[in-house]
């Protein structure tokens, strides 16, 4: 036995948007035993597997075109207007679990687009939330993950800048400063969810307290990658895992203190399972 002292970060786990979506899904699954969900309900394979065992069926946007007279869950990431139009055509009952923060952002982007502003969105290409945001501009908004993707010399003199809700606040303001220093007038809209961004500081404090950090997240989670890197910067002895089987006893020394934390898409039950696995070393 390595006699490890293991602590789970009480501030990690699902954000309220994900909690809301999963609670809605569980309620319907308890009553009816089946529910379609448009895309992964959360970017965590272990949680998706748990819900699929209860009767959740993950479908794609292509699948949606051929489904009629069913209930379909809209996950926290939100959807473009085209999804709602298909639902009307196919007599689908949408269980809309779109995060209120995302819906508010969609409205702000649509209003800016209606005023013919030059809209730029700091976000991950192809991410479900970003697809829904860009759709508010008839796909005219420019999406970028890094400043290097933009040719500053060719940008308009004035732009309106938004951000995907789960991006890093510090990176967003670095980008804003760089663009401003290039002579571009920016209408900055800090649209990052504070429940997510506030975890930056909390995680830094948490990661500094332990000999080793085990960060639990699905590989598809954008937020997970950001938060993992924050932990890694503070504590180089940080390990990224998606499930308990990936952690190895040789990563620890006798009497190590171990902190377990995760993304906003990581369920608490999974972190508890990781804790139990580590305590057996």
pLDDT in tens, 169-205: 888 999 999 999 999 999 999 999 888 778 888 999 9
> Does one domain contain both 106 and 78?
no
> Does one domain contain both 20 and 90?
yes
Q: Please state, in angstroms and rounded to a whole number, the distance separating the CA atoms of residues 107 and 15.
A: 21
pLDDT in tens, 131-141: 999 999 999 99
For the question of residue 129 being annotated catalytic, the response is yes
pLDDT at 226: 85
Q: Which two tokens stand for residue 66?
A: 């051929």
Catalytic residue, candidates 129, 177, 233, 280: 129
Of 182, 199, 179, 171, nearest to 15 by C-alpha is 199
The strand pairing partners of 186, in sequence order, are 159
pLDDT in tens, 197-251: 788 889 999 999 999 999 999 998 888 988 999 999 999 999 999 999 999 999 9
pLDDT in tens, 114-133: 999 999 999 999 999 999 99
pLDDT in tens, 44-69: 999 999 999 999 999 999 999 999 99
What is the value of pTM for the model shown? 0.87
Q: Please state, in angstroms and rounded to a whole number, the distance separating the CA atoms of residues 219 and 160.
A: 31
Return the CATH number at 158.
3.40.1010.20
In a 13 Å sphere around the CA of 37, the CA atoms on its Cβ side amount to: 27
- Above 90 in pLDDT, residue 32? yes
Q: Collect all residues with Cβ–Cβ distance below 8 Å to 114 and sequence separation of at least 6.
A: none
Full domain range(s) for residue 187: 101-192
Of the residues 192, 210, 237, which one is the last residue of a structural domain? Answer: 192
């Amino acid at each position: 036995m390595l006699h490890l002292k293991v602590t789970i970060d009480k501030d990690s786990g699902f954000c309220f948007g994900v909690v809301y979506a999963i609670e809605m899904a569980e309620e319907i699954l308890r009553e009816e035993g089946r529910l379609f969900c448009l895309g992964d309900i959360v970017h965590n394979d272990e949680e998706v597997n748990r819900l699929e065992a209860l009767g959740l069926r993950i479908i794609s946007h292509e699948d949606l075109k051929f489904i009629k007279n069913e209930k379909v869950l809209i996950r926290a990431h939100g959807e473009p207007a085209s999804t709602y139009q298909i639902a009307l055509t196919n007599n689908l009952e949408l269980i809309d679990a779109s995060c209120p923060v995302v819906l508010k952002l969609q409205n702000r982007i649509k209003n800016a687009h209606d005023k013919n502003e030059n809209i730029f969105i700091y976000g991950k290409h192809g991410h479900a939330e970003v697809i829904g945001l860009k759709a508010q501009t008839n796909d005219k908004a420019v999406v970028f993950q890094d400043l290097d993707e933009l040719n500053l010399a060719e940008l308009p003199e004035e732009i309106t800048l938004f951000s995907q809700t789960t991006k890093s606040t510090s990176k967003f303001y670095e980008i804003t400063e760089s663009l401003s220093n290039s002579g571009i007038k920016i209408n900055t809209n800090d649209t990052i969810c504070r429940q997510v961004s506030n975890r930056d500081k909390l995680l830094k404090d948490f990661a500094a307290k332990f000999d080793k950090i085990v960060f639990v997240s699905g590989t598809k989670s954008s937020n997970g990658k950001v938060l993992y890197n924050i932990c890694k910067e503070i504590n180089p002895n940080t390990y990224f895992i998606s499930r308990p089987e990936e952690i190895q006893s040789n990563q620890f020394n006798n009497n190590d203190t171990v902190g377990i934390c995760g993304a906003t898409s990581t369920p608490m039950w999974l972190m508890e399972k990781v804790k139990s696995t580590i305590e057996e070393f």
